[in-house]
Amino acid sequence: MRKQTECTTILVGKDATIDGSTMIARSEDGGRTIIPEGFKAVNPEDQPKHYESVISHQKIDDEDLAQTPLRYTSVPDVSGKNGIWGAAGINAANVAMTATETITTNSRIQGVDPLLDPEDGGLGEEDFITLTLPYLHSAKDGLKRIGHLLEKYGTYEMNGMAFSDKDEIWYLETIGGHHWAARRIPDDAYVIAPNRLNIDEFKFNDPDFACSADLKDLIEEYHLNPDREGYNLRHIFGSSTIKDAHYNNPRAWYIHNFFNPDFGGQPSDQDQPFICRANRKISIEDIKWAESSHYQDTPYDAYGDEGTPEQKKTFRPIGINRNFETHVLQIRNDVPAEIAGVQWLAFGPNTFNSFVPFYTNVTDTPECFQTTPKFNLNKIFWLNKLTAQLGDTNYRVYGELEDAFEQKSLSECHKIQHDTDKAVKGLSGKELQDKLEEANKKMANTVYNNTVELLGQMVDEGHGLMTLKYDLLD
């Protein structure tokens, strides 16, 4: 059985962020079964020299792995049952990649270029980070690499993925079994991409767009375009279903209205724009709030007072029990390249966790973020699962404790990061990496200890709220 991932991607260009960095973010969400995620630095000697997918048993020709790989960070599925499933990371060239956003398709393109059956091979979400990120020297390199892999090996599922460097962000979506299309995100814009095919307006022969060489011919030959003018890839290759109206579109609608209150519209609107502008510059805290959101101050909030029981279950929230890890891959432009890459990372449901801003120019990661497959409260993944499940029993009480915990954790991490940025000036090589690893460990331990403190506060508050109690004390 394949691992399920249903995510929410947020992309923010360098002129749209508060500090001039590029940011690509995604919550990696799973199904009913808990999927423990870890944090790992993959050094060149650890990169596979020979590769075979676990799900499809697709073997990759050695010449496609022959380039000298770069070191990179990864957020793998620690069980290994579904393959590596690296999810997201930043490499030694300060190129970031998040993969993948499960997206939709339609019968027209599937009749032309069907998805592969995994029993017949092909690549999928378990493979893309491992086969792509260590070989990239720019965001645009990601398009070339993925294009080559898709055209040669094919895929058995629809995927969206993003690439960034200090200047550019590109978002790519697979189309059918062997095709793809990508768009450069304008520097002053942001994107919200839920689990549907997201790219709308597309311009062939424009440097800000890229695709399979035969994509336009394929559209014309098989009469795939329903529009009278132009090319809208969501209309041509995507979906517009009841599931989109309830599962996908409301997530985009809610964040759009958070980033720009004049956005308006209705939660189920099918044609929400792909490229948008906010009414302010976007911060890490904005992205974390959005990825944690559950339709607050609307009738659709599962924890709110406004809606009926039916309304509270109408739309799929972004912050959900199935968040297993959430990241923001940030490439900064106001610091030296050696410390520019930062992977903000949080494990577990986003309503009860905090980001940690890990430097990615490292060869190892903090112990408490190296998750074990089985329940272990020394690992922050499992600790966050526990605080979220306890917090869910009475959000009105525990939510305030979480807000204070997250404010405290983020401020302390910001302080450690600011101090480290200054302290490592003039350092290089192993001396620099040692200092960055020391800072990463300090931030990880700070947030771990704050989470333990939060759990203790929740136990104290919850003691008197238990159902199994009796007010007359003997």
pLDDT, tens digit, 9 for 90 and up, residues 213-269:
999 999 999 999 999 999 999 999 999 999 999 999 999 999 999 999 999 999 999
Q: Is 3 inside any structural domain?
A: no
Q: List, for residues 151-186, the tens digit of each pLDDT value.
A: 999 999 999 999 999 999 999 999 999 999 999 999
pLDDT of residue 469: 86
Q: Which pLDDT belongs to residue 4? A: 57
Instruction: Provide the pLDDT for residue 310.
Output: 96
Residue 27: inside a domain: yes
Expressed in percent and rounded to 5, the helix, strand and coil fractions of the chain are 35, 20, 45
Q: What is the enclosing helix (H) or strand (E) of 396?
A: helix 395-423
Q: Tell me which residue range forms the domain holding 314.
A: 8-363
User: Residue 1 has what pLDDT?
Assistant: 43
The answer to whether residue 467 sits within a structural domain is no
The answer to the question of residue 122 being in a domain is: yes
CATH of the domain at 46: 3.60.60.10
Q: Is residue 465 part of a domain?
A: no
* Assigned domain for 175 exists: yes
Q: Could you tell me which of 278, 283, 284 has the C-alpha nearest to residue 189?
A: 278
380-391 helix and 429-463 helix, angle to the nearest 10 degrees: 30
Selection from 274, 103, 265 nearest residue 191 by Cα: 274
d(CA 118, CA 125): 12
Arithmetic mean of pLDDT, 374-390? 97
Q: At residue 279, does pLDDT exceed 60? A: yes
pTM (predicted TM-score):
0.97
**Range of lowest pLDDT (18-27, 30-39, 174-183):** 30-39
Can you give the pLDDT at residue 18? Answer: 98
Element of type H or E holding 9: strand 8-12
Establish how many alpha carbons lie within 13 A of residue 325's alpha carbon, considering only the half-sphere containing its beta carbon.
Answer: 30
pLDDT at 3: 54
Proportion of the chain above pLDDT 70, given as a percent: 98
Q: Residues 92-103: what's their mean pLDDT?
A: 96
pLDDT above 50 for 382: yes
Residue 374 lies in a domain: no
The overall average pLDDT reported for the chain is 96
Domains contained in the chain, number: 1
CA atoms of 470 and 97, how far apart (whole Å) = 55
Provide the β-strand partners of residue 331.
22, 341
CB 198 within 8 A of CB 234: yes
Asked whether residue 254 is assigned to any structural domain, the reply reads yes
Residue 6: pLDDT band with limits 50, 70, 90: confident
Q: What is the DSSP letter of 2?
A: P
Beta bridge partners of 52: 59
Residues with a known catalytic role? 7
Question: What's the whole-number mean pLDDT along residues 77-104?
Answer: 95
